[in-house]
Structures are given as C-alpha cells and as structure tokens.
Amino acid sequence: MNTTKRLIWVFGDYRNYFQNRVTLQLLAKANELAPRINAEVCAVLFGHHIDEFITEYIAHGAQKVYAVEHQSLKNYSVEKYAVLMEHIAKKFRPEIILVGATSFGKEFAPRVAKRLGTGLTADCIGLEITAEGHLLQIAPSFGGNLIAEIITPDHRPQMATVRPGAFQEIPHDNLRHGEVIHIPIMKNLPKDRVRLIDYKRQATREQKIEDAAVVVCGGRGMGSKKKFRKLFDLAELMGGEVGGTRPVVYAGWLDPDALVGQAGKHIKPKILLSFGISGAIQHTASTNEADFIIAVNKNPNATMMKMADVAIVADANQFCNTLIKGLRKRIQV
Ligand SMILES: Cc1cc2nc3c(=O)[nH]c(=O)nc-3n(C[C@H](O)[C@H](O)[C@H](O)COP(=O)(O)OP(=O)(O)OC[C@H]3O[C@@H](n4cnc5c(N)ncnc54)[C@H](O)[C@@H]3O)c2cc1C
C-alpha cells in the first residue's frame, strides 16, 4: 500500500506581511481540505532572509515548508519565480497548488500552470473536495452571472488562485512543528527583464476592507461624489471601512481598490450597510457572507433590499446624514 501523503502547496506571498493575509488564509483552508485526501499542507517560498516567514507559516498551519533562499530572489520576479516553481513542482509533484489572487499571484500562477501543462481556476471564492477526491474550485464566471464549480480531473497539479478574504486564517501557534526543506537555487534561472529601481508602499487604509467587521457600501444611488464622501464620516463613526460598486468607482467617487464585487474585493463583515445599491450579482456575489445587512434604497423592490435583514425605503443620502447625526449625538453623551 502506498502510504506517501499527497501534497497541498500554498505559495508563500509574504510581501506586506501584516496586511496581506491571503497566504495564511490558504494555509487554513488547506488544513481543512487535507484530511479528505490524505495530504500534507505545505508552504513554498522563495526569497532572501526568509527565515521569519518560514516560522510564521509553520505557526499558521504549514506542516512542511519548501524554501529556496538566494540573494537573487530578493525581489518578487514573475519570470524567475515561475521557472523555479515549475522546477520544484516537477520534482515533488504536488496534488494541489494554491496561490493568492494578489496582483503578483494573478501574473505568476497562470505562467506556472502553462509550464506544468495543467489547468488553473482564477479568482476562486471557495474550495472543496469532491466525493472522487478532486479539488472543487468555486469561482464567479460568465461576467459574474454564474458561480462555476470547476474540477481538473485529468491533470496534476490542480491549481487555483483564491481571492484574499475568502477564508479565515487560523491563529498563530508557536507550538506547531513543521519540517523545512531547503532547496538549492537552480542554475540558469531567467534574467529579470524588468529592473527594479525603487518601490514605494501604497498608502493603505487602517484595516483592509476584506477584514473589516463593519463595511459601509455605497452605490450610484448616493447621487454625487460630494454626497458619497459622507459615507466615510459614517464609517469612521462606526469603526468601519467604505466600499462601493463599479459605477461609483468609474465615476471617480471611490478608489478602485475599494470596489466590492466580482472585479474587486470579497467582504465578510458582521454588519454591512448598503446605500443606494441595486444588488447586481457581480456585487452581491462578494457581499453574501455578511452576517447582517442593512440596505437603504428608494426602491423597495431592489435586489439588495430583498437580500437585507433590514430594508429601509428612504433617500440614501438623507438617511446617511440622519444616521451620522444620531451617532454623533450618542458619542457626545
Ligand atoms: C464583467 C462585469 C463585472 C462587474 N463587476 C462588478 C463588481 O465587481 N462590483 C460591482 O459593484 N459591480 C460590478 N459590475 C457592475 C454590476 O453589474 C452593476 O452594474 C453594478 O453593481 C450596479 O451598481 P449600483 O448598484 O451602484 O448602480 P445601479 O444598478 O444603477 O443602482 C442604483 C440603485 O440606487 C437606487 N437609488 C437611486 N437613487 C436613490 C436615492 N436617492 N436613494 C436611495 N436609493 C437610490 C436605485 O433604486 C438603484 O437600486 C460588473 C459588471 C460586469 C459586466
């Protein structure tokens, strides 16, 4: 009987570690899936001075870590990293490779899949194991009008990129143990075609919208950029973050990185306040995990109103102002 365990690999994207938690979320999900296929959960990471990340990944559930450490891997390089991943995947033959759908992951994973001659489901919002032991990759499809369930029955590894925020990380535990496999860097890695001169970290909000317990979301029904800005006052009073729909991003009322929906962020707040949003599937596919939804819309038949726990038929802007006034009063008392 073959007792060798299968391998679930999670690519370690440790850039901006304290904000970018997707690798930890994938390790958590891999831990949930692994017993179903008798697999080990492994992190794979490349870089220079990466010891602290190896320790972190073990503390967050990696049973094994494959690490390639070299000065030339200091900066994330899509071309080099893809060749390296191909090389070690061919050697260790993982069953599954999961990559965070970060800007880097979205460039990196398809290149790896092509090199390994396997399929890839991009931007998954869920992962399960089928009765036959295949990875069920759940992702919005056909412009978000359908949620597709995809399997890769004939090729290995099964590969998916997964949206940040789709899963919950498991808490850090220093007492966890893991095996570390140091792999020497291969010769003849491609040279970087892009030379990194400098980088500046983008100013981020206090917390990520994917992790926020309260999200105030606004849509076209807010009426104007000026009125939309009121949602930021409300979010501040509630200790939350502001998100919005595609039309408000296109109109320049909101930064693109706060777009909620198929083309943006997946959120799971305890409370979602939705102002002037119709509830198109491309938006609601990423809000349907909110614990409690309060929707404000002048149209009682809007889909968002039907999805809400509390639906308030009102002018979104006026209601927002009333709420701000009420909260300010309460805070002063
Ligand atoms: C491929 C593709 C990807 C997409 N990805 C996304 C995505 O990631 N995220 C996303 O959000 N959308 C996305 N969309 C767009 C999506 O289909 C919808 O068009 C969009 O979500 C609608 O935004 P909205 O609700 O703000 O606007 P609308 O649909 O125009 O709705 C406005 C709502 O405001 C209400 N309203 C109007 N005035 C008031 C008022 N004074 N007070 C209260 N309520 C009022 C109206 O009754 C209406 O319900 C995508 C579309 C495609 C084709």
Tens of pLDDT, residue by residue over 82-108, are 999 999 999 999 999 999 998 899 999
Pocket lined around ligand 1, Cβ cut-off 6 Å: 143-144, 219-221, 223, 245-248, 259-264, 276-278, 280, 282-283, 297-299, 302, 315-316
Using the predicted structure, report yes or no on whether residue 333 has a pLDDT greater than 50.
Answer: no
**Which residues, at least 6 apart from 269, have a Cβ–Cβ distance to it below 8 Å?**
212, 213, 214, 215, 240, 290, 291
CA–CA distance, 144 with 160 (Å, rounded to integer):
17
Q: Which of 217, 225, 245, 249 to mutate to test the pocket of ligand 1 (most atoms within 8 A of CB)?
A: 245
From the list 118, 78, 77, 76, the residue with the least C-alpha distance to 94 is 118
Q: Kindly give the number of the ligand 1 atom that is closest to the alpha carbon of 248.
A: 26
Q: What is the pLDDT of residues 21-57, one digit of tens each?
A: 899 999 999 999 999 999 999 999 999 999 999 999 9
Using the predicted structure, report yes or no on whether residue 135 has a pLDDT greater than 50.
Answer: yes
Where are the strands (E) in the chain, listed by range?
Answer: 6-11, 39-47, 64-69, 96-100, 120-124, 126-129, 135-141, 146-150, 158-162, 179-182, 214-218, 241-244, 271-275, 292-297, 310-313
pLDDT for 304 equals: 97
pLDDT band at 211 (very low <50, low <70, confident <90, very high): confident
Q: Identify whether the C-beta of residue 273 lies closer than 8 Å to the C-beta of residue 296.
A: yes
Whether the model pTM is above 0.75 = no
pLDDT band at 201 (very low <50, low <70, confident <90, very high): low
pLDDT for 236 equals: 87
Q: Identify whether the C-beta of residue 57 lies closer than 8 Å to the C-beta of residue 172.
A: no
pLDDT for 200 equals: 66
Q: What is the pLDDT of residues 290-309, one digit of tens each?
A: 999 999 999 999 999 999 99
State the helix-helix crossing angle for 78-92 and 103-116, rounded to 10 degrees.
Answer: 50
**Mean pLDDT, the chain, as a whole number?**
92
